[in-house]
Chains A and B, each alone.
Chain A
Amino acid sequence: MKPEFFDRLFNYFSWGCSILLVGAVLTIVGFLIANGYQSLNLHLIFDDTRPLDAIFLKSQVFDGLFPAIAGTLFLITLSIIVAIPLGLATGIFLAEYCPPKIKGSFSLLFDILAGIPSIVVGLFGFCVTIFLHHYFYTRLFPCLLISALSLAFLVLPYIIRTTQISLETLPLSVRLTAPSLGATKLQNIFYVLLPSSLSGILSGIILSIGRCAEDTAVIMLTGAVATAGIPKSVFSSFEALPFYIYYISSQYSDNSELMKGYGACLILLFICISLFVFAHWIKKRLSQKILYRP
């Protein structure tokens, strides 16, 4: 057969697949926008409450997305607060202290943790709660805290791995500068190595935030509910944007509720894509621009 024939086939195939995939993505986004753009307004979020009143918790929002958005924010904050120190410390240990022999097994474990389906992590969180409820503290139920802790485990491997890799890929010249000036290992880590790998670590953290924002499987097992209002403490159940979307998709009673579902999808999609773009921007710019001021 003629070689040009293959070349052309190859060409068509590549173009065809690319157009197909991009088309699918555009269809998904377009479908959401086409159906949901009308519902995108303050009323969707705050219902009939005045936005400022809602934000300062003066009055409750009953029929808007505000509690779900707030719940998602609380959730992200809590889990990141848990995951960052743990992940950073572990990443530092792996990159700077871990003997090569056990490094392999540690890394494997964290890869496995990253691969565990999130519903399994959710089930784990649920069972631990039930266990504690039975044996230690009967007033403990699935709640914001449990969800946040489970999510923290879910994103932990991302933070660990980005920290480890950012540290390990620092050039030797950066690594040796502070020790040559009399720095101890710890001083080197805190004064030079961590600041130098900040952009990598930060983008890892932002991607983890995105993961916390979008995960549904974990929270539906560990305390997310359809109506809870703004959570009063970490021990109360809560609403979250992705869970709301799931809930609406199966339980909507009329068209206006469905419209709110579309609106919620758009908001969530916007949050996640923005976080992603932000992470990439940081990765690219922070090292060059913000730290380097010519």
Chain B
Amino acid sequence: MDVKETIFKSVFFAASILSAGITLFILGFMIVLALPILKQGLFFDMLTGPWAPDHGLFGLGPMIIGTICIALMALVISFPVSLGCSFFIGILNPRGLGKWLKKIIESMTAVPTVIYGFVGIFFLVPLVRELFLKGSGMCILSAAIMLSILISPTMILFFVQSFSMVPQNDLNAVDALGGNTAQKFFYVVLPHSWKGMLTGIILSFGRAMGDTLIALMISGNSVAFPGSVLDSARTLTAHIALIIAADFDSIEFKTIFLSSIFLYIMTSFGIIMSRFSFKKRKTINET
């Protein structure tokens, strides 16, 4: 009997080590593959420089700028909308409609990104092209709009969850003092929930940065530094998808390892940060 217990415990342990090992191994493997270019000491040049393979320039600058622009803009579009929706669900909840909105938003998490990309190409891109009468419509703006729809469920669900952690007593107290909804929000809800909201924002940003298909399909993938939101841009994820067809031993190919490392580190950093704020909030609730 005891032998069986020990065997199973070891199996469970081995599985955990394997799963955890893979996580670290992904990073390790990418670093090893990127070593040839890391060794040349070109790390920072590559992160900031322009991309012009014909001139022997393999900088990821445009892609990093593109990634950040698109993700940030998606965040900027999505944030107010998400805020409004979570007010609707968590605070206003008119005639129980909040529950239904929440259901719709939860099921949005199941929509494949490739579908957002597809609708982006055939619906949004022509629309943007018509509206602004400039370029092809494949631009930062189009990608950001689609991405903002993609990430809004994450943000809203986090917001709603943090709103629900606000003690009902405090809310009642404001009501008893004759406070209005806005006051209730600024004086009671926000102080209690901003950390949870921050977590939601960080994680949605990570999701926006990590998405491949939307940017690949509708941001145009140009390798120039973008000048405006109507310019085409290429994200790091799209860069990986596009360069994968190149020769494995070329320098071009090596740059995608650098892209991966950058993405890996950025998302991990976001998760560590969000955990930090989450922990803090928990202890606040306990006291």
Q: Do A and B come from one complex?
A: yes
User: When A18-B101, A246-B117 are in contact, do A221 and B244 touch as well, CB less than 8 Å?
Assistant: yes
Which bracket fits the contact residues of B?
Answer: 35 or more
Instruction: Render B107-138 as a binary contact track against A, CB cut-off 8 A, 1 for contact.
Output: 11111111111110111000000000000000
Chain B binder among A39-47, A169-177, A266-274: A266-274
| A109 contact set on B, CB distance < 8 A | 20, 23-24
A277's nearest neighbour on chain B, judged by CB, is B107
A10 touches B87 (CB 8 A): yes
Q: How far is the CA of A293 from the CA of B204 in the complex (A)?
A: 41
A71 at the interface (CB under 8 A from B): no
| CB pair A117 B267 closer than 8 Å | yes
Residues of A1-58 at the interface with B, using a CB-CB cut-off of 8 Å, are: 3-4, 6-7, 9-11, 13-18, 20-22, 24-25, 27-28, 31-32, 35
Residues of B contacting A214 in the complex (Cβ-Cβ under 8 angstroms): 110-114
A119 engages B212 (CB within 8 Å):
yes
Whether the Cβ atoms of B19 and A90 lie closer than 8 Å is: yes
- With A18-B84, A249-B118, A269-B111 known as contacts, the answer to whether A116 contacts B264 (CB < 8 A) is yes
**CB of B237 within 8 Å of the partner chain:** yes
Question: How many contacts between A and B, using CB within 8 angstroms?
Answer: 242
Q: Give the Cβ gap from A169 to chain B, nearest Cβ, in Å.
A: 15
Quick one: which of A146-161 are within 8 Å of B by CB? 153, 156, 160
A180 at the interface (CB under 8 A from B): no
B13 contacts A97, C-beta separation under 8 Å: yes
B275 at the interface (CB under 8 A from A): yes
Is A276 on the interface with B (CB-CB < 8 A)? yes
Q: A109-B23, A217-B213 are in contact. Are A10 and B181 (CB under 8 A)?
A: yes
User: If the complex has contacts A3-B183, A93-B16, A127-B29, are A117 and B263 also in contact, measured as CB distance less than 8 A?
Assistant: yes
Is B224 an interface residue, CB under 8 A from the partner? no
User: Does A261 have its Cβ within 8 Å of any Cβ on chain B?
Assistant: yes
Contact of A4 among B16, B33, B180 (CB under 8 A): B180
A135 to B240, CA, bound (A): 24
B88 contact set on A, CB distance < 8 A: 14-15, 17-18
| Contact in complex: B83, A17 (CB < 8 Å) | yes
Give the shortest distance, in Å, between B215 (CB) and chain A (any CB): 10
Do B211 and A117 touch across chains, with their CB atoms under 8 A apart?
yes
Instruction: Indicate if the CB atoms of A24 and B149 lie closer than 8 Å.
Output: yes
Within 8 A of B (CB), among A247-271: 249-250, 258, 261, 265, 268-269
Asked if residues B267 and A112 are in contact (CB atoms below 8 Å), the reply is yes
Q: Are B85 and A18 in contact (CB under 8 A)?
A: yes
Known contacts A14-B88, A117-B210; decide if A269 and B8 are in contact (CB<8 Å).
no
Cα A61 to Cα B16 in complex, Å, equals 42
- Complexed CA–CA distance, A14 and B152 (Å): 14
Please determine whether B24 and A115 come into contact, CB atoms closer than 8 angstroms: no
* CB of B272 within 8 Å of the partner chain: yes
Interface residues of B (CB under 8 A from A): 1, 4-5, 8-9, 11-16, 18-20, 22-24, 26, 29-30, 33, 80-85, 87-88, 91-92, 101, 104-119, 121-123, 149, 152, 180-183, 185, 203, 206, 209-213, 217, 237, 240-241, 244, 248, 256-257, 260, 263-264, 267-268, 270-272, 275
CB-CB nearest 7 A-B residue pairs = A17-B84, A117-B210, A214-B112, A89-B15, A276-B110, A93-B12, A6-B182
